[in-house]
Amino acid sequence: MRKLIVAVIVFLGAYHPAFASDSDLSAPAPNIVLIVADDLGWGDVGFNGSEIRTPTIDKLASEGVRLDRFYAYPACTPTRGAILSGQRMRSVGLLEPTPPWSDAGLPLGIRTLPEALRDRGYSTWKVGKWHLGHRSTSQFPNQRGFDHFYGFLNGEINYETHVFAGALDWQRNGVTVEESGYSTSLFVNEVERLLAEHPNDKPYFLDLSFNAPHTPLQAPNEALTEYKHIEDPDRSRFAAMVSEMDRGIESVLQAISKREDADRTMVVFLSDNGGAPMFGAKNAPLRGGKATHYEGGLRVPALVYWPGVLQPGVRDQFMSVHDVYPTLLALARESHPNLPGINVWPAIARNAAVHRVEPIVFALAMPPIPIPGREPAVTLSASLISEGFKLIETKRMPRGPGKSRQSPEVTQELYDVVNDPYETENLASSRPETVLKLAEALSKVPASPPLGFTPPPPDWQLGSAPGKEPTFAPPTKPPYTESADP
């Protein structure tokens, strides 16, 4: 009888990845489709009560596994860096959205997720937004583990012209291409082509990173008409962009369903950070939004969809973007020790609690912003989540002559995000022992100086209106293949 039980377990491990152990190399490697939305808030999807119509994403949520406590960084570059590296961005210094004039990017010595998956026999594709380094070809996606890249390198583009900062930022595998069309639709077209041409006997990893619904707020006329009843013009355009992305995801799912290996394909969906209310997003009922460490900035819509393998359900296990790397590697039958994240597949597949030894830690740096009557300062903020409590620590670092040795201004906030998910009560003064414990844990996390703190050129126009591009052209001009490694 014991031999029979062992035989059954081996059979399940070989043919049912949800029950396969991380070390079972005989199990078939799943295709992995990672879909990342840009600046999509908690309250911007139908399954969280939004007025925005997202039937495809809602279907994935209802028929898949909703990750109700999934956390990202409060800004895009750090989240993307954590997903592809498995590292804390506090430790590598990538703490701000990489600006177009910066040399910063994901450090070159890190073994990326696509590199690791490619070593396991995967084809690796990146379609959409990169934002992890653009000033030299060594920082481009094709040099960071992706066999194929189609999209743009900076943080945002005009959806129709594909121009940013006075330069065309649109390429396929390092070569600038001039194409007309709405970026969301073009990304979907590229994915459909890749899926149609790829052999069924080779696993693939697709990182589909939409720029929607990030600014500039632009959408096709038909989508805009769908939300003309919303009085707030920003919210109306934002909603149209989200629905257009939802339709694009539906097309991707249809393309997957046409393949022979469709039943071996897992879809992961998440937002890179909370939404920006000033640009039409909503995070209600969560507090705060993008660029903050409140729940509205960190806690994002997320789910995993794998019909026939995952039973529908909701998971309240605390998870973060740091867990994506070790979890996907485990499914590809490889472990990666000494990462801050953990393999959360048991929680996803079987709702089994996974013990987290190290706390979840996020960090964000904001460059000096002129404030009348105050010296310019860099703001370094960090949050640590452990055992249901969140510590938010903000340091204001004075800048300027004679200021470098001054002690920073430090503020601390403490919230019980399990019992007070809307962060209505700051417990810092009533629970000083918890603040001390979490602050000590935060101080032990290795920290590197922020990368890329280069002031913008004098003529840089931040926040230009849609259709009006900034006048400053970054040093890397089209075609991008002309940019040389330093």
What are the tens digits of pLDDT across the range 446-458?
Answer: 998 888 666 655 5
CB atoms < 10 A from the CB of 286, how many?
24
Query: Which backbone phi and psi does 87 adopt, to 5 degrees?
Result: -100, 155
For the chain, percent of residues with pLDDT exceeding 90: 74
Cα distance between residue 33 and residue 257, in whole Å: 13
CA distance 36 to 27: 27
| Planar angle of CA 340, 343, 346, nearest 5 degrees | 150
The owner of tokens 């149209």 is: 240
Tokens of 157: 């583009």
Q: What is the pTM of this model?
A: 0.89
> Is 180:101 a contact under the CB 8 Å cutoff?
no
Instruction: Please write the tens of the pLDDT for every residue from 378-423.
Output: 789 999 999 999 999 999 877 655 555 567 889 999 999 999 999 9
Sequence length of the chain is 486
Give the relative orientation of helices 76-85 and 324-331 as an angle to the nearest 10 degrees. Answer: 30
CA distance 281 to 125: 29
Residue 236 gets which letter from DSSP? H
Reported confidence tier of residue 459, pLDDT bands at 50, 70, 90: low
Following CA atoms 83, 85, 89, 92 in sequence, which dihedral angle do they give, to the nearest 10 degrees? Answer: -170
DSSP code at position 374:
B
Using DSSP bridges, classify how beta strands 302-305 and 265-271 pair: parallel, antiparallel or unpaired: antiparallel
Q: What is the mean pLDDT of the chain?
A: 87
DSSP assignment of 72-90 equals --SSHHHHHHHHHH-S-HH
- Contact, 165 vs 100, CB < 8 A? yes
Domains annotated for the chain, with CATH where assigned, are: 29-358 (3.40.720.10), 361-443 (3.30.1120)
Q: What angle do CA 39, 74, 87 make, to 5 degrees?
A: 115
Contacts for 444 with CB less than 8 Å, ≥ 6 apart? none
| Average of per-residue pLDDT across 356-363 | 94
The per-residue pLDDT for 100 is: 81
- pLDDT tens-digit map of 185-210: 999 999 999 999 999 999 999 999 99
Q: Which two tokens stand for residue 382?
A: 């960090």
Distance CA 185, CA 191 (A): 10
CA pair distance 212, 218, nearest whole angstrom: 9
CA distance 341 to 241: 32
Q: How far is CA 30 from CA 21, 56, 124, in A?
A: 14, 22, 13
Query: In this predicted model, what pLDDT tens digit does every residue of 120-168 receive, in sequence order?
Result: 999 999 999 999 999 888 999 999 999 999 999 999 999 999 998 778 8
What Rg do the C-alpha atoms of the chain give, in angstroms?
A: 22
> What per-residue confidence (pLDDT) applies to 160?
96
Residue 481, pLDDT > 70, answer: no
d(CA 165, CA 130): 16
- Is it the case that residue 364 has pLDDT exceeding 60? yes
Distance, in Å, from the CA atom of 420 to the CA atom of 414, rounded to the nearest integer, reads: 11
Burial of 356-391, coded b for 16+ CB within 10 Å and e otherwise, reads bebbbbbbbbbbbeeeeeeeebbbbbbbbbbeebbb
Tens of pLDDT, residue by residue over 225-282, are 999 999 999 999 999 999 999 999 999 999 999 999 999 999 999 999 999 999 999 9
The number of angstroms, rounded, from the C-alpha of 416 to the middle of its chain's C-alpha atoms is 25
- Percent of the residues in the chain that have a pLDDT greater than 70, as a whole number: 83
Q: What is the pLDDT of residues 79-128, one digit of tens each?
A: 999 999 999 999 999 999 988 878 899 999 999 999 999 999 999 999 99
Bigger pLDDT: 13 vs 370: 370
Quick one: which of 348, 339, 361 has its CA closest to 315? 348
